[in-house]
Every structure is written in structure tokens, then in C-alpha cells.
């Protein structure tokens, strides 16, 4: 069954549970945020792709208007809730400046596999070390969910959209693991190249081959 939802199309993927900070400057979306504050309504962020247009997105809840500037622009804090498929799109909702559309909410299953979580944490730990990124995982890694780390796994925009469409948590974990299996070798090569470049001009202890 479809529902009407106010929409804020963006070229990014928001995931359920994700906190997303937004700078709002267009009058139509300032109106949207004010309506969220006044009426307690939610809005959707459909991920806009040049290849696919807008097919899926995430329902968002306004958590806080962090700052309002003298010219009316805002900094707001939002949180992802549910994944939806976009069925219809209207450039303006009735009586409003902002767009809206008909959406169908998709099932999201949080079934998980601790062995897959452990594998993913190992891969991400190596990735962060190679890229000199400081990140602390929770002590209880069983609480880690795919959506919480997806933006840190080096996915392309299209891959992030694909991940949003997967209903099963174990399938999402497998998607990230397979991606990192292909992605990490390239990062290792780049790190080895970086070290090689850094060594240029330095005195090196080179052992000649026995020929």
C-alpha cells in the first residue's frame, strides 16, 4: 500500500539509523523543515542517480534545528527511519513549495551472522589502517549493522543505492564483504606505491642479488 510523503531529493544515500546533518538554504526546503517542526511529519530523501533517476530512498525524521541564520538558512539534524520505493513524484505537494510523492515502504530484516560481522570488521580494520583513518568499533561487535558502516566501506554511489535495496542484513553483510575483497587489494597497492614514493631520495640498505 502506498503513502504520500514529502520529498527532499539529494544525490546521496541516507540509511536507516543514520544521523544526517543538512544545511537547508532553498526556500521550498526551509518550508519543508518548518512543517516537520510544526506538524511532526517526516520526509523522504530519494537518492537521485543520473543513470537511474530516483527509485529508492529513506524516510527521515527531523531531530533538531541546530541553527537558523539571519537570512533564514538552517542547519538541521535528521535521522534515517525506513526504506521506500518511489512510485510517483510531484514537483510540488498540494499547497506547498516542496515536492512529494507516493512511496511504498520496503521490508528490512535485521537477521545477522556474527561470523560475517567479524569478517567485515577485520576487513574494515585493515582498510582504516591502510588509509590512516582512526575509527573505534564498539566492544560488542555483534551490535554492528551494515547500514552503520556502509559509508565507510568505499562503495560507489551506485553501490550504496544497491545496498539500500537489499532487505536481508546477512545479504547486506555479504555484499560489503565481497566488495572489500575486491577493493582492498587496490588499496594495498596504493599504500605500497605511497611508501615507495616516500623512499625516493632516502638512503636505503639495498642487498644486491647473488648473480
The per-residue pLDDT string of the chain (211 residues; one tens digit each, 9 = 90 and over) reads: 889 999 999 999 999 999 999 999 999 999 999 999 999 999 999 999 988 889 999 999 999 999 999 999 999 999 999 999 999 999 999 999 999 999 999 999 999 999 999 999 999 999 999 999 999 999 999 999 999 999 999 999 999 999 999 999 999 999 999 999 999 999 998 888 777 777 665 545 556 666 5
Q: CA 184 to CA 188: how far, in whole Å?
A: 6
Picking from 6, 63, 4, the residue whose alpha carbon sits closest to that of residue 29 is 6
Picking from 117, 133, 124, the residue whose alpha carbon sits closest to that of residue 180 is 124
Distances (CA, A) of 179 to 89, 104, 124, 183: 32, 28, 11, 6
Picking from 104, 98, 105, the residue whose alpha carbon sits closest to that of residue 7 is 98
- Angle separating helix axes 114-130 and 169-199, nearest 10 degrees: 20
To which CATH superfamily is domain 3-105 assigned? LON domain-like (2.30.130.40)
Q: What is the pTM of this model?
A: 0.86
Domain spans in the chain, listed from the N-terminal domain onward:
3-105, 114-199
β-pairing verdict for 3-7 and 43-49 = parallel
Amino acid at each position: 500500500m502506498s503513502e504520500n510523503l514529502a520529498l527532499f531529493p539529494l544525490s546521496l544515500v541516507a540509511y536507516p539509523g543514520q544521523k544526517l546533518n543538512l544545511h537547508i538554504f532553498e526556500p521550498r526546503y526551509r518550508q519543508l523543515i518548518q512543517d516537520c517542526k510544526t506538524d511532526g511529519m517526516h520526509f523522504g530523501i530519494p537518492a537521485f542517480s543520473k543513470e537511474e533517476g530516483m527509485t529508492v530512498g529513506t524516510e527521515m525524521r527531523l531531530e533538531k534545528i541546530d541553527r537558523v541564520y539571519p537570512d533564514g538558512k538552517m542547519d538541521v539534524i535528521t535521522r534515517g527511519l525506513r526504506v521506500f520505493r518511489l512510485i510517483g513524484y510531484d514537483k510540488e505537494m498540494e499547497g506547498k513549495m516542496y515536492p512529494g510523492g507516493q512511496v511504498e515502504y520496503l521490508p528490512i530484516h535485521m537477521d545477522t551472522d556474527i561470523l560475517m560481522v567479524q569478517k567485515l570488521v577485520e576487513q574494515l580494520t585493515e582498510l582504516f589502517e591502510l588509509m590512516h583513518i582512526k575509527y573505534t568499533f564498539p566492544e560488542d561487535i555483534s551490535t554492528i549493522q551494515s547500514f552503520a558502516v556502509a559509508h565507510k566501506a568505499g562503495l560507489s554511489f551506485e553501490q550504496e543505492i544497491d545496498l539500500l535495496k537489499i532487505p536481508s542484513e546477512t545479504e547486506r553483510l555479504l555484499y560489503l564483504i565481497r566488495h572489500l575483497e575486491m577493493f582492498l587489494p587496490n588499496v594495498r597497492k596504493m599504500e605500497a606505491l605511497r611508501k615507495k614514493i616516500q623512499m625516493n631520495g632516502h638512503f636505503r640498505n639495498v642487498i644486491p642479488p647473488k648473480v
